[in-house]
């Protein structure tokens, strides 16, 4: 089953613009994580936000979490061509087991 649903599935923007990706999930969680995957590579962890947190920043990344709406968003500010990748949200929907359920991802293209 797909716990995380990401929106949009694909996003194309110009360098310097902001990119926003959304993730919705179905069950209660302890934390939600965002990962990036460059073409043909493994996933790289970006940010982990816990259920008692509402917002978290890391460099040009800003993640929000709304547990009442079961949704999260990832904002990339001042995007660069190097940000071109697929972005996935993942939730620990099985309780504190470490097992993650991933969404299908948002493919971001940043045009120079």
Partner 1 sequence: DAGITQSPRHKVTETGTPVTLRCHQTENHRYMYWYRQDPGHGLRLIHYSYGVKDTDKGEVSDGYSVSRSKTEDFLLTLESATSSQTSVYFCAISERADTEAFFGQGTRLTVV
Q: Are residues 44 and 56 in contact, defined by beta-carbon separation less than 8 angstroms?
A: no
Q: Residue 83 or residue 92: which is nearer to partner 1 going by CB?
A: 92
Please choose, from the candidates 36, 58, 57, 55, the residue with its C-alpha nearest in 3D space to the C-alpha of residue 45. Answer: 36
Q: Which member of 23, 32, 43, 63 binds partner 1 (CB under 8 A)?
A: 43
CB of 16 to partner 1, least distance (A): 29
Interface with partner 1, residue 83, by CB under 8 A:
no
Q: Residue 68 or residue 97: which is nearer to partner 1 going by CB?
A: 97
3-state secondary structure of 53: coil
Count of residues making up the chain: 112
Interface with partner 1, residue 57, by CB under 8 A:
no
CA distances from 71 to 31, 55, 83 (A): 12, 12, 23
**Contacts with partner 1, residue ranges (CB under 8 A):** 1-2, 4, 30-31, 33, 35, 41-45, 48, 50, 88, 90, 92, 96-105
């Amino acid at each position: 089953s797909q716990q995380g649903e990401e929106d949009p599935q694909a996003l194309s923007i110009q360098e310097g613009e902001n990119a926003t990706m959304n993730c919705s999930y179905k069950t209660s969680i302890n934390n939600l994580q965002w990962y990036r995957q460059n073409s043909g590579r493994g996933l790289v962890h970006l940010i982990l936000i816990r259920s008692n947190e509402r917002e978290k920043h890391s460099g040009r990344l800003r993640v929000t979490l709304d547990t009442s709406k079961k949704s999260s968003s990832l904002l990339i500010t001042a995007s660069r061509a190097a940000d071109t990748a697929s972005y996935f949200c993942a939730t620990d929907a099985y309780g504190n087991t470490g097992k993650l359920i991933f969404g299908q991802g948002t493919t971001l293209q940043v045009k120079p």
